[in-house]
Amino acid sequence: MRDGSQNISGPLMIIGKSGQLGIDLARAFRFVDGVVCLGRGDMDLCDLGSIRSITRSIKPKVIINAAAYTAVDQAEDDVERARAINATAPAVLAEESKRVGALLIHYSTDYVFDGRKQRGYLEEDATNPLNVYGTSKREGEEAVSALAGRFLILRTSWVYAFHGNNFVRTILRLAAEREELRIVSDQVGVPNWTGALAASTFELVSLMMRPGVSPNSGTFHLSGDGATNWYEFAREVLNLADSFGYWRSSAPEQKRKLKQLIPISTEQYPTRAERPRFPVLDSSKMRSTFGVAMPPWQQQLRDAFGDLKAAVSGA
């Protein structure tokens, strides 16, 4: 049994089992008795009655909501659905978590900030989202804070995995298709691997469920140290892909075609939704309150490639 799992007794409900983070959460909590993992086919987050009835039937002690509407550009034209999943559904989950006495873990985003501070954002800094996605996530935060009993709102950023749709997988795919890639270099943030996020979440739940420990409900930043831009992140992804033998082991049917990576400005790559330029999260409050710290983003990326290589080799 994994260290700390003895502090966690089920039922434990993970929402978003097929998403990037949900897959690794299910893996991290697999040794906990009574884990129930729910996907779109199990719980429709746009059906509030479904959320209520399923939660009341399971009566979980912990609810981890890893489901979200994350299509940032699409959300600009799909406002109703983005708000339903990112704001209204968390509000109902907050109400139901309080009703059954469950700890609620809810993830949010660096996009609640406008990125104009030019240094790491603290939890107490004023939010000012620039797009529909960020606005809907802020509304979800406000609902959880107002309606839940015991809760942790965990803000993170630039989430990636080797499953699902994300920047890392896109770069690796395009590197096998094109000789040249142009990547934005003036948007700065912190990449975070779902494996590290899931491990840190496990540690937090174990601490929160430990007998005799007073709950520390509130909003916390959960992100690695350091910061980078999309261009430098892409370059590091490609360097590690080469050094870990990605093209031979993980994608033997592909071959790296890319020869040139070119930095460009945000203005040279217009998008439907405006992005914050420097939404870097300061996670010092997480360390001082819980003693939980995510690895630096470079180490997370190395760990992610190492995890992928071990999975491919069957180690």
pLDDT band at 2, cuts 50/70/90? very low
Q: Which of 246, 221, 222 is CA-nearest to residue 302?
A: 246
Question: For the residues 126-144, what does the mean pLDDT come to?
Answer: 97
The CATH code that applies to domain 5-313 is: 3.40.50.720
Burial group, residue 279, by CB count within 10 angstroms (0-12, 13-18, 19+): buried
Question: Position 4: which residue type?
Answer: G
| 121 in Cβ contact with 113 (< 8 Å) | yes
Catalytic site includes residue 133: yes
Q: What is the 3-state secondary structure (H, E, C) of the chain?
A: CCCCHHHCCCCEEEECCCCHHHHHHHHHCCCCCCEEEECCCCCCCCCHHHHHHHHHHHCCCEEEECCCCCCHHHHCCCHHHHHHHHHHHHHHHHHHHHHHCCEEEEEEEHHHCCCCCCCCECCCCCCCCCCHHHHHHHHHHHHHHHHCCEEEEEEECCEECCCCCCHHHHHHHHHCCCCEEEEECCCEECCEEHHHHHHHHHHHHHHHCCCCCCCCCEEEECCCCCCEEHHHHHHHHHHHHHHCCHHHHCCCCCCCCCCEEEEECHHHCCCCCCCCCCCCECCHHHHHHHCCCCCCHHHHHHHHHHHHHHHHHCC
Supply the pLDDT for residue 1: 36
Q: What is the pLDDT of residues 80-89, one digit of tens each?
A: 999 999 999 9
Please tell me the pTM assigned to this model: 0.94
Predicted confidence (pLDDT) per residue in 179-221, tens digit? 999 999 999 999 999 999 999 999 999 998 887 666 679 999 9
> Among 304, 37, 308, 70, which Cα is nearest to 195's?
304
- Write down the pLDDT at residue 215: 66
Give the Cα separation of 181 and 175 in Å (integer). 8
According to DSSP, the β-strands at 62-65 and 188-189 are unpaired
Catalytic residue chosen out of the listed positions 69, 107, 133, 246: 133
Span 10-24, pLDDT tens digits: 799 999 999 999 999
- 102: Cα separation from own chain's centroid: 21
pLDDT at 67: 95
pLDDT tens, residue by residue, 241-274: 999 988 888 888 888 888 999 999 999 999 999 9
Beta carbons of 111 and 60 less than 8 angstroms apart:
no
314 falls in which pLDDT band (50, 70, 90)?
Answer: low
16 conformational bin, left if phi > 0, alpha if psi -120 to 50, beta if neither: left
- Which tens digits make up the pLDDT trace of 297-311? 999 999 999 999 888
Cβ neighbours for 229, distance < 8 A, ≥ 6 positions apart: 184, 185, 186, 187, 188, 189
